[in-house]
A and B are shown apart, each in its own frame.
Chain A
Amino acid sequence: MTKEAKGVRRRALLAAFPYTIPIFAGFWFLGLAYGMYMNASGFNFWYPMVMSLVVFGGSLEFVMVTILLGPFAPLATFFLALMIQARHVFYGIAMLDKYKGLGWKRFYLYFSLCDETFSLNYMLEPPPGIDRGWFYFFVSLLNHIYWISGSTLGGLLGSLVKFNTEGLEFVMTALFVVIFLEQWSKEKKHYTALIGLFASLVCLVLFGPDSFLLPAMGLILLLLLLFRKPIEKAGGLTLTADERTVDLP
């Protein structure tokens, strides 16, 4: 490794870190809660640690606690996991352009494409002079590390600690709201955002909190494809990467 390459990576890491601070707060809170939940369900810290390393998806990992306590049903588990994680297909489609040409780093970038990492990396452009690939790589890696360390710590501490963090989970909602607004203020027309909001709310009312996600995704796809012509004509799509400017920490 040459000195110059090290400098490139160091600068990318330092540039990426400030953007991941909200995720650190959210992931340590959720990760601790998840690790403690696993501990209380009779699993030692290896379980949350390994699951956070290889799955890196909070909602599925919480459900897996119940699955691991039940009878061995591999096929049903696989399809349940596919259903819970289906929304990641949207993220993969949205990142095709951004992650193009980033070489081997793409394998890790797609591997670690959870809700929060997708939201951040989609919105962010690396600051001038910072290597694109390494910047997105470090945003993803830092988030991954926060999640693994939080859930491992939760598994180790178990129910030993009790501090009043009630309501801290809202940090994730706030993150999604800010990223939604960031996106909103960069669009000329808001059709796609409103379609997402409308489809999700309708399906939440119709199907309930535990099973609205898949129908909502279906409805979003249907509406987006149905109204493709008017949306494209009205310029209701997000601006391209170089038209975007982000003024963050």
Chain B
Amino acid sequence: MNLTEQIIIIALCAAATMLTRFLPFLIFSDKKATPKYITYLGKALPAASFAMLIVYSLRNTELSGGTYGLAEALAIMVTCVLYFWKRQMLLPIAGGTITYMLLVQLVF
């Protein structure tokens, strides 16, 4: 690939990304009322999306070998416990991450 072709590829990837991000905004402008089922999806999708993102970020976890997903499970437990204890954001994220790093670097 020469430089021009590389620029075209990068531009196309940027365009595809923007298309996915702007699509709902372009279709449902402020002026006309948003259809009821889209309003419903707007409220129903976030929780489902967060669940999907957790699974997505853990998609390459090895369950039938390696650490059998034990490090991930323990670190998520620490994150949950810290969250329900302190009800804030930074401490559970830091605690879970440090747990995971210690486990994969020192234990497993």
- By a beta-carbon cutoff of 8 Å, the part of chain A in contact with chain B is 18-19, 21-22, 25, 50-51, 54-57, 60, 64, 67-72, 74, 77-79, 81-82, 85-97, 99-101, 106, 110-111, 113, 115, 118-119, 122, 164-168, 170-184, 187, 190, 192-197, 199-201, 204, 209, 212-213, 216-217, 220-221, 224-225, 228, 231-232, 237-238, 247-249
Contact = CB atoms under 8 A, between A and B. Distances in A.
Contacts of A197: 51, 54-55
Contacts of B28: 96
Pick the most buried of A21, A51, A93: most chain B CB atoms within 10 A of its CB. A93
Given A54-B14, A196-B50, 18 more contacts: A68-B10, A70-B1, A87-B20, A97-B39, A99-B25, A115-B53, A166-B104, A168-B97, A174-B92, A174-B100, A175-B93, A177-B79, A177-B96, A180-B47, A183-B46, A193-B47, A232-B40, A248-B90
B8 A74 contact: yes
A248 to B, nearest CB: 5
A213 B56 CA distance: 8
Interface in B50-91: 50-60, 71-72, 75-76, 79-80, 83-84, 87-90
A115 to B, nearest CB: 6
A78 B5 CA distance: 13
Given A88-B21, A170-B96, A200-B56, A19 B13 contact: no
Which DSSP category, helix, strand, loop or mixed, fits chain A's interface? helix
Size range of the chain B interface in the assembly: 35 or more
Contacts of B49: 87, 90-91, 94, 118, 196
Contact of B88 (A69, A101, A248): A248
The 7 closest A-B pairs by CB, nearest first: A196-B48, A196-B51, A81-B16, A92-B24, A167-B101, A200-B55, A174-B96
B104 A167 contact: yes
Pick the most buried of A74, A87, A90: most chain B CB atoms within 10 A of its CB. A90
Nearest to A201: B55
